[in-house]
Amino acid sequence: MCLAVPALVTELLPDNMAKISLDGVSMTISVALVKNVAVGDYVIVHVGYALSKVDPDEARRTLDLLDEARGVPLAAGGVR
């Protein structure tokens, strides 16, 4: 019950609900726990609730750190 993946917000609905897409599979979840969710955001979904937004800059930075650890030079414009 703890495994969750980032999902794309495709539509905001009334009552703090939103539609999300997981590789084309659509679901309705609650966004009551996360402020300022917008269409196009990726959110971590767990038991039908968004728990936090995925920060695209930090996601990129994580990949840069991984690449740094493997000795690959950073791509130009990589976020530090």
Which residues contribute to the site for other proteins (CB under 8 A)? 1-6, 8, 22-23, 29-30, 32-35, 42, 44, 46-49, 51-56, 58-59, 61-63, 65-67, 69-72
The CB-of-4 to other proteins minimum distance in angstroms stands at 6
Cβ contact 45:18 at 8 Å = no
C-beta closer to other proteins: residue 23 or 76:
23
- Count the Cβ atoms, other than its own, within 10 Å of residue 18: 24
Q: What type of residue is 4?
A: A
- Taking CA atoms, 33 is separated from 11, 54, 60, 70, 72, in Å, by 17, 14, 25, 37, 38
C-beta closer to other proteins: residue 3 or 38:
3
Paired tokens of 52: 């936090």
The CB-of-12 to other proteins minimum distance in angstroms stands at 16
The CB-of-7 to other proteins minimum distance in angstroms stands at 9
